[in-house]
Structure 1
Amino acid sequence: MAPHSLSFATALGRVHLAWTPEGICALRFLDGIPQEEAKAAPMWVLNAVRRLGAHLAGTPQNLSDIPLDLAGLTPFQRRVAEVLRGTQPGQTLSYGEVALLAGRPGAARAVGQAVKANPILILVPCHRVVAANGPGGWSAFGTPERKARLLELESLTAD
């Protein structure tokens, strides 16, 4: 079954969200991508949209219980996603630390590729992965400022 999708405005920009009956399978910012009109969605998706909007507007939300559909990921990408979903708001890990937790010590570059390919931004919190020498860039969200803003929002939750 093909995923359903919608887009919606947030404080950090327009977001595209796609879902299957199993859960959300894609979440990304729409920088430079034509937006689509919002379509009817099940209540659990509308609830996720509401919570994401509130979170990105500065009212931190626990997003860890929103169901995901990770079927399109490789086994290693799924393991990285599980590690990241297990991190706490405000917590950051280096690529090497994620590799170790994913059971692949020394696979920091592979973690980098898995993070870069992450189709479910925010809900698989790849913004929590930082370079060993600092925050690093963030091509997935378009700008390093978005990464910094998400980490700032999460530090409000962690306090």
Structure 2
Amino acid sequence: MHVELLGQTVELDADRVGASEPEIREQVAEYAAGERRTFDLPVELVDGFAGEVMAEMRAIPYGETRTYGDIAAALDTAPVAVGRACGANPVPLVVPCHRVVGADSLGGYSAGDGLPLKRALLDLETGEK
């Protein structure tokens, strides 16, 4: 499914979210309006390493970031592997891969128009909107 967020279209794999499309859209709209800090949607994580990375991303609090290296250290792997898993996240935003950044850059972002949307999401969460 596609959701509108900050003037961008973001694709979410609704089959991985245990909620109706209207509920997903409502929570995304509340997040974009600054009225929601966490999504209370059940998400089916992917199997294997990518699912482990998704679990780490879900644990990053609103308004905070972690580096690819931080997550790699927690999972005893390489930052590049974490980056690949982040890029394959089937439910960006709901599982906040935008909160994962490089040690000295934003890194990448596969949703919407990429890095401009990632920057906008981080700014929204830190109040720099």
TM-score by length of 1: 0.69
Corresponding residue number in structure 2 for 1:94: 67
Report whether the alignment pairs 1:126 with 2:121.
Answer: no
C-alpha contact (below 8 Å) 1:60/1:153 kept by paired residues? no
C-alpha contact 2:68 2:79 (8 A) present in aligned 1: yes
Matches of 1:95 and 1:52, distance apart in 2: 25
The equivalences for 1:110-121 within 5 A come to: 110-121=81-92
CA RMSD of superposed structures (Å): 2.2
Paired residue type of 2:38: L
- The percent identity for this pair of structures is 30
* Distance in 1 of aligned mates of 2:72 and 2:40: 24
C-alpha displacement of 1:8: 4.1
1:58-97 equivalence runs, <5 A: 58-70=33-45, 73-97=46-70
**Partner Cα separation in structure 2 for residue 112 and residue 9 of structure 1:** 24
Aligned residue pairs, count: 127
1:48 maps to which of 21, 24, 27: 24
Q: Give the alignment partner of residue 19 of structure 1, picking from 9, 14, 21.
A: 14
SS at 2:8 equivalent: coil
Question: Residue type of the partner of 2:4?
Answer: A
Question: 1:76-112, CA deviations, whole angstroms, 9 ceiling, x for partnerless residues?
Answer: 11110001101101111111101122x21x4111101
> What are the ranges of 5 or more consecutive residues in structure 2 without an aligned counterpart?
none
8 Å CA contact retained: 1:12, 1:146: no
Gaps of 5+ in 1: 1-5, 26-41
Match of 1:146 in 2: 117
Q: Which one has more relative contact order, counting CA pairs under 8 Å at least 6 apart?
A: 2
Specify the structure having the higher radius of gyration (Cα): 1
